[in-house]
């Protein structure tokens, strides 16, 4: 089997390919120091004077200063510069040809200046050459009079100090001579010195958090200025429910993410780009779909909200949407609303947080602007199980057979063939005939190939690409943005025709009809096509990963005849097993109007319509192979029948809002009132049908089948109606108060239980605005205290629980007469009296900025208690046969903290950097649940959510005698010996038992871990140096336990056909390996005694991962403006490049976290990408 190229080898090669044009562009601005290179550099017939001067600067290691406008449209012959000449000899030639002059101001510093017109009668210059002039002397171009030099402006040395409004020096202020590259920064006391070309120069002073100033030199040599704090920075607004608020006046727990944090990540969906960027926003890999193209990720805000589900409400431009339907390139900002005070305005849909996504629009007074970006990515799985060669595999199974008292599974003859094949695979047939069926091939323990199935089934690199175009513009009355996007992802599997394509169109338009009336229209359209993997199980494509696990290395990919080897092997099924295609269309149309009666009062009204539809066709084809004669066709043992199924979905959703906002400033008092109402209606329909026995595989359709068939449909609807209000008040932006209320009704509940009122209140104190804060105000610039309390409702239960329903099903499993009749199942119980869950949240927060606003800090503490949760009403016997009705009878609470720290620094004109660190942790406790006996197999009062109960172990028995002398473990299995697990007797009764499996009597069970992720953190570092920028983003989980109770982890199951051996699982105990990690293996159910939930095999799923690293190069504008391009940036990026974790190396701590029987899922991607951003 060929060896895969290493990721980092490919990474280096691709980085070199990317860097070559970038470095070439950079080198176009500099000379090489080699004389041969010098000579070659000046052979062009006509070259830009600016480029030549920059080359001279690098070649002779001097400073050459000039104004940019002086260089515009100036070129000189390429042969003027002589490499053997001195700098000043070359300058003489250049300025003469360009009609300019230069001045040497000090050692190794020259300034290029404009020439003046000659006075009539002036004689040509006969002055000494530049190299003989004194410092400060001037060298005009040939033909200019020496007398004019006395009238020319001189280089001026300027010094000065920059202070803040209090008179304190400001360090790190950037000072540039306008229109040039000449500049400096102030020192630690705010002082600076700078040489400027002439007395008419203008200096530009800029500093983070302060208003920039332009100051004319006007012949002065000393300049003292003061910078004012940037009130716009204090006036920064954050998107909140039904509007925006000044950040300084926020009283709720809200964090905002700008588009810069999301750009250029080689990820396909917005949820992936948001992972780790905000504390409390928890985004995790879906444990079913994993890293499959377009896979949804799990999202929650501040942990578990409810036992019935607690996902946040996601709004895009005020309209609820699927987060994966949005093109990340269209996003302007993302606001995460975390506490009840921030989300209460949204009522029942926002009990567990809100994510507000704002898409891009045209900027004020900008011409039409076009942005184009692309990304080309090559991905491979983040990790794969280590390969166990077939000889080692066969010997391990035979050893387990011996431990089980069985005969060898692999015969000596087969072992000999395995050895021979590994010695000479080219000349040894990959398979032999099955002695029990000469027309069939020998699989399982008759095989002798040596196949690394992970290497065979996964591509070396899976290619994907993205292209985005954004067009925006604005005028006094119109503002628009149009975004187009195309994504194509080919998937990671070989043999499969796997693919995902998505097309996005977004349009935002605002039209000011009059001074009072503004019309808005926002529309979004998403069209996608996906071709999924094909599995033998028609209802579960993820069965592929279970089949991958039991693909033995002794089976080949192809038979000696060249056709696919079948049986449990996947290539034949993936390639020839049919197709599973899905087409989706998602349209959003959102017109709205704003009526502004005066500067204080406005009314908004909007309506949003959504149509979502998809069609899915699943064709299961018969998989054919050839018998050993290479002629006779044979069917796959499992995929030996065909079927065509079709599914159609038609969903419509409509929502409308009308609200009015009145705000008023009365002296130091500001108040605002918002009143409004909302209505929602959702209608959903699904229709599916299938039929077996296709006449031909070439035209797969229900009408081309003649066998058994079935048709089903499903229809549902729901609606909500609500009114809301918000009252805000502040005194001098120092003391802050906000009250929210929402009155909601939901059709999901029965009459009399449908309505609920959900209030919230928040206060804030900008203590930094107090007079007593002034002594430390220059150190701690802002400091705000916040507190909030609120209650929200949750309606996330199934429809019609309060109605009596009788499920009707077709095709009974038994034939009655000659048909399979229609039948009904047990009627479901009515959940009488069911009403809203209520999520009650207390939140305290601190916001601060220090050291000239370069340091930012936010901290939150919260306690969210969910009461009246939907739980089982009564404990009924299993023989009852129906689901237990729900009641509002459970309570849980989640307590947590969040921290965010940022530092932003401009070191000088060339270099700046910023660092952001986030940290979050929470813990959820069950306060009430209907489990009177407190069984540990269910939720119980006092339980920490995510608990893992199991045995504590003390290693493996070293000898049989040690097992005899140990506590009695016969309740788990009758026979114990050397190599088996030694469980600890916690209750001291001399026996290892599970007791009654209750909290009061757990026997020797205890809490050994917890599956909930704890101590979540992220670190983002970004820096820029001249034309280059660099960033990296680390994300991790500090604590998480994982129990992987499956044969994929342990390797051995209840039979020899269930063996799944990977590199980690062959490290088991044997007399020759007494320190093996795993217990002695068996080929029977005896394995279960050593695979009890226990501390020995509990996995540490904490991790630290380098999620993204990116290097960018900004092409100099003087090279691109000539062709009308304002900005060009090239970048190279890596995703999931490095992972530090203690989990068993065959598994991914992000993806393989399912506690089910098969923790294998579609793998996450380690990717390398190249990209381009261009603005016109």
Q: What is the pLDDT of residue 45?
A: 60
pLDDT tens for 102-126 read 877 666 778 888 775 444 333 333 3
- Does the pLDDT of residue 404 top 60, yes or no? yes
What is residue 323's three-state secondary structure?
A: helix
Q: For the segment 478-516, what is each residue's pLDDT rounded down to a tens digit? A: 999 999 999 999 999 999 989 999 999 999 999 999 989
Is the model's pLDDT at 1 over the cut of 50? no
**pLDDT over 70 (residue 6):** no
Q: What pLDDT does 93 receive?
A: 82
**What distance in Å separates the CA atoms of residue 1117 and residue 1176, rounded to the nearest whole number?**
12
Residue 884 or 192, more confident: 192
533-542, 559-568, 785-794, 973-982 — most confident range: 973-982
pLDDT value for 1069: 97
User: What secondary structure, in 3-state letters, does 389-434 show?
Assistant: CHHHHHHHHHHHHHHCCCCCCCCHHHHHHHHHHHHCCCCCCCCCEE
Give residues with Cβ within 8 angstroms of 665, minimum separation 6: none
Q: What's the rounded mean pLDDT across residues 706-722?
A: 90
Q: What integer pLDDT is reported at residue 829 of this predicted model? A: 66
Q: What angle do CA 680, 685, 686 make, to 5 degrees?
A: 145
- Total number of residues shown for the chain: 1176
CB 238 within 8 A of CB 256: yes
Token reading at 284: 């995790």
From 393, 507, 395, 516, select the one nearest 450 (Cα to Cα).
393
Which residue is associated with the tokens 């041969």? Answer: 36
DSSP for residue 351: T
| CA atoms of 994 and 996, how far apart (whole Å) | 6
Two structure tokens written together for 312: 């946040």
Mean of the pLDDT values across residues 134-150?
36
Digit-coded pLDDT (tens) for 223-235: 999 988 765 555 6
Confidence (pTM): 0.79
Closest Cα to residue 204, out of 181, 170, 230? 181
Cα Rg of the chain (Å, integer) = 36
Tokens, residue 594: 């704003």
Q: What is the mean pLDDT of the chain?
A: 86
Whether the per-residue pLDDT at 28 is higher than 70: the answer is: no
Task: Return the pLDDT at 234.
Answer: 54
- Give the relative orientation of helices 390-403 and 412-423 as an angle to the nearest 10 degrees: 160
pLDDT-derived band at 892, boundaries 50, 70, 90 = very high
Judge contact between 255 and 336, C-beta under 8 A. Answer: yes
User: Would you give the DSSP letter of residue 117?
Assistant: P
Q: Are 228 and 162 spatial neighbours (Cβ–Cβ below 8 Å)?
A: no
The predicted pLDDT at position 1034 comes to 96
Predicted confidence at residue 1156, as pLDDT, reads: 52
Q: Which of 1167, 1160, 1134 is nearest to 290 (CA)?
A: 1160
Q: How confident is the model at residue 877 (pLDDT cuts 50, 70, 90)?
A: low
- Residue 129 pLDDT grade (very low, low, confident, very high; cuts 50, 70, 90): very low
pLDDT of residue 139 exceeding 50: no
pLDDT at 26 over 50: no
The 3-state DSSP class for residue 682 equals strand
From the centroid of its chain, how far is CA 895?
Answer: 25
Residue 1154, pLDDT > 80, answer no
pLDDT, residue 693, reads: 95
pLDDT at 1153: 73
Q: Out of 248-257, 700-709, 713-722, 853-862, which region has the weakest mean confidence (pLDDT)?
A: 248-257
CA atoms within 13 A on the CB side of 144: 23
Least confident of 49-58, 448-457, 1006-1015: 49-58
pLDDT band at 1108 (very low <50, low <70, confident <90, very high): very high
pLDDT of residue 881: 59
Domain ranges of the chain: 31-151, 156-229, 390-452, 925-1011+1044-1097
- What's the pLDDT score for residue 879? 57
Q: Does 709 have pLDDT greater than 50?
A: yes
In contact, 583 and 624? CB cutoff 8 Å: no
Q: Residue 804: what pLDDT?
A: 65
Residue whose C-alpha is closest to residue 534's, from 633, 440, 638: 638
Q: What is the DSSP letter of 387?
A: P
pLDDT band at 364 (very low <50, low <70, confident <90, very high): low
Rounded average pLDDT over 41-69: 75
What class is the 31-151 domain?
A: alpha beta
So what CATH class is 156-229?
A: mainly beta
Least Cα distance to 127 among 114, 140, 113 occurs for: 140
* pLDDT confidence of residue 126: 35
Quote the tokens at residue 944: 């920490």
Residue 96 has pLDDT above 70, yes or no: yes
Local structure of residue 107 (DSSP, 8 states): T
């Amino acid at each position: 089997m060929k060896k895969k190229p290493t990721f980092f080898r490919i990474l280096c090669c691709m980085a070199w390919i990317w860097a070559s044009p970038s470095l070439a562009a950079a080198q176009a601005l500099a000379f090489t120091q080699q004389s041969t290179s010098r000579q070659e550099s000046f052979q062009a017939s006509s070259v830009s004077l600016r480029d030549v001067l920059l080359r001279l600067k690098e070649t002779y290691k001097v400073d050459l200063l000039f104004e940019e406008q002086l260089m515009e449209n100036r070129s000189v012959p390429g042969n003027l510069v002589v490499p053997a000449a001195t700098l000043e000899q070359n300058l003489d030639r250049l300025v003469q040809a360009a009609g300019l002059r230069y001045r040497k101001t000090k050692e190794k510093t020259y300034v290029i200046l404009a020439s003046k017109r000659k006075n009539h009668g002036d004689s040509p210059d006969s002055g000494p050459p530049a190299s003989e002039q004194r410092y400060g002397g001037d060298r005009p171009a040939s033909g200019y009079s020496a007398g004019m030099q006395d009238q020319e402006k001189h280089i001026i040395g300027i010094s000065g100090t920059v202070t803040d409004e209090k008179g304190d020096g400001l360090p790190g202020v950037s000072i540039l001579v306008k229109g040039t590259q000449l500049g400096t920064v102030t020192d630690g006391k705010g002082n600076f010195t700078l040489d400027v070309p002439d007395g008419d120069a203008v200096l530009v002073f800029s500093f983070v958090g302060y208003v920039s100033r332009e100051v004319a030199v006007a012949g002065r040599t000393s300049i003292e200025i003061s910078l004012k704090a940037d009130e716009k920075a204090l006036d920064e607004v954050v998107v909140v429910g039904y509007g925006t608020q000044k950040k300084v006046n926020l009283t709720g727990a809200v964090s905002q993410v700008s588009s810069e944090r999301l750009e250029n990540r080689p990820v396909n969906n917005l949820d992936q780009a948001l992972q780790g960027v905000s504390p409390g926003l928890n985004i995790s890999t879906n444990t079913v779909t994993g890293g499959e193209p377009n896979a949804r990720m799990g999202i929650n805000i501040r942990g578990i909200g409810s036992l019935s589900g607690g996902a946040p409400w996601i709004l895009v431009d005020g309209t609820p949407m699927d987060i994966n339907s949005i093109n990340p390139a269209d996003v302007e900002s993302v606001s995460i609303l975390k506490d009840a005070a921030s989300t209460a305005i949204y009522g029942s849909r926002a009990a567990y947080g809100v994510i507000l996504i704002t898409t891009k629009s045209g900027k004020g007074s900008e011409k039409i602007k076009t942005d184009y970006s692309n990304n080309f990515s090559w991905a491979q799985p983040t990790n794969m199980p280590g390969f166990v060669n077939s000889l080692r595999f066969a010997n391990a199974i035979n050893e387990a057979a011996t431990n089980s008292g069985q005969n060898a599974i692999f015969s000596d003859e087969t072992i000999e063939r395995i050895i021979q094949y590994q010695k000479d695979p080219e000349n040894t047939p990959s398979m032999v005939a099955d002695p029990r069926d000469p027309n069939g091939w020998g699989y399982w323990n008759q095989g002798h190939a040596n196949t690394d199935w992970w290497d065979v089934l996964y591509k070396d690199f899976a290619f994907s690409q993205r292209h985005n175009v954004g067009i925006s513009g604005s005028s006094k009355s119109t503002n628009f943005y149009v975004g187009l996007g195309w994504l194509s992802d080919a998937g990671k599997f070989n043999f499969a025709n796997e693919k995902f394509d998505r097309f996005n169109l977004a349009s935002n338009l605002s039209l000011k009809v009059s001074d009072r009336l503004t019309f808005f229209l926002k529309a979004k359209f998403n069209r996608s096509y996906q071709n999924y993997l094909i599995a033998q199980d028609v209802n579960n494509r993820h069965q592929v990963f279970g089949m991958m696990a039991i693909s033995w290395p002794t089976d080949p990919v192809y038979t000696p005849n060249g056709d696919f080897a079948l049986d449990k092997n996947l290539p034949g099924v993936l390639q020839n097993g049919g197709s599973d295609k899905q087409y989706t269309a998602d349209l959003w149309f959102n017109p709205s109007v704003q009526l502004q009666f005066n500067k204080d009062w406005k009314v908004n009204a909007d309506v949003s319509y959504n149509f979502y539809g998809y069609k899915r066709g699943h064709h299961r084809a018969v998989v054919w192979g050839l018998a050993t004669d290479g002629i006779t066709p044979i069917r796959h043992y499992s995929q030996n029948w065909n079927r065509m199924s079709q599914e159609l979905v038609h969903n419509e959703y409509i929502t409308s809002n009308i609200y009015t906002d009145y705000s008023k400033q009365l002296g130091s008092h500001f108040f605002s009132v918002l009143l409004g109402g909302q209505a929602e209606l959702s209608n959903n329909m699904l229709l599916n049908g299938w039929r077996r026995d296709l006449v031909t595989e070439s035209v797969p359709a229900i009408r081309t089948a003649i066998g058994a068939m079935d048709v089903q449909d499903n229809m549902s609807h729901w609606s909500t109606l609500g009114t809301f209000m918000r009252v805000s008040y502040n005194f001098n932006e120092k003391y802050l108060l906000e009250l929210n209320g929402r009155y909601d009704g939901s059709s999901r509940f029965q009459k009399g239980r449908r309505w609920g009122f959900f209030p919230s209140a928040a206060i804030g104190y900008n203590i930094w605005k107090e007079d007593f804060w002034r002594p430390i105000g220059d150190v701690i610039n802002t400091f705000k205290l916040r507190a909030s309390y609120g209650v929200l409702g949750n309606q996330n239960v199934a429809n019609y629980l309060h109605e009596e329903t009788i499920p009707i099903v077709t095709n009974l499993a038994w034939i009655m007469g000659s048909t399979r009749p229609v039948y009904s199942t047990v009627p479901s119980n009515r959940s009488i009296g069911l009403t809203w869950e209520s999520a009650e949240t207390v939140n305290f927060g601190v916001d601060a900025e220090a050291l000239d606003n370069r340091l930012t800090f936010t901290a939150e503490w919260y306690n969210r208690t969910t009461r009246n949760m939907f739980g089982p009403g009564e404990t009924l016997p299993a023989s009852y046969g129906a689901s237990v009705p729900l009641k509002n009878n459970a309570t849980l609470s989640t307590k947590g903290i969040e921290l965010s720290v940022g530092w932003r620094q401009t070191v000088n004109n060339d270099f700046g950097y910023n660092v952001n660190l986030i940290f979050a942790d929470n813990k959820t406790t069950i306060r009430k649940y209907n489990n009177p006996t407190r069984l540990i197999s269910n939720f119980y009062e006092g339980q920490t959510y995510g608990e893992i109960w199991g045995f504590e172990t003390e290693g493996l028995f070293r000898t049989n005698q040690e097992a005899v002398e140990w506590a009695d473990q016969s309740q788990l299995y009758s026979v114990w010996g050397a190599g088996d697990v030694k469980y600890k007797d916690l209750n001291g009764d001399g026996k290892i038992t599970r007791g009654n499996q209750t909290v009061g009597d757990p026997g020797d069970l205890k809490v050994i871990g917890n599956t909930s992720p704890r101590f979540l953190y992220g670190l983002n570092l970004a820096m820029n140096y001249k034309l280059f920028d660099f960033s990296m983003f680390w994300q991790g989980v500090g604590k998480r336990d994982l129990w992987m109770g499956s044969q994929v982890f342990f390797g051995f199951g209840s039979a020899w056909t269930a063996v799944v051996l990977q590199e980690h699982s062959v490290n088991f105990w044997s007399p020759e390996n007494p320190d093996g990690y795993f217990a002695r293996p068996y080929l029977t159910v005896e394995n279960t005694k050593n695979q009890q939930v226990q501390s020995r095999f509990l996995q540490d799923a904490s991790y630290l991962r380098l999620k993204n690293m990116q290097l960018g190069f900004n092409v100099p504008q003087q090279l691109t403006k000539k062709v009308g391009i304002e900005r060009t940036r090239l970048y190279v990026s890596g995703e999931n490049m490095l992972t530090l974790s203690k989990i068993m190396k065959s598994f991914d701590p992000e993806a393989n976290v399912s506690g089910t029987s098969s923790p294998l899922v579609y793998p996450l991607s380690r990717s390398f990408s190249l990209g381009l951003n261009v603005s016109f």
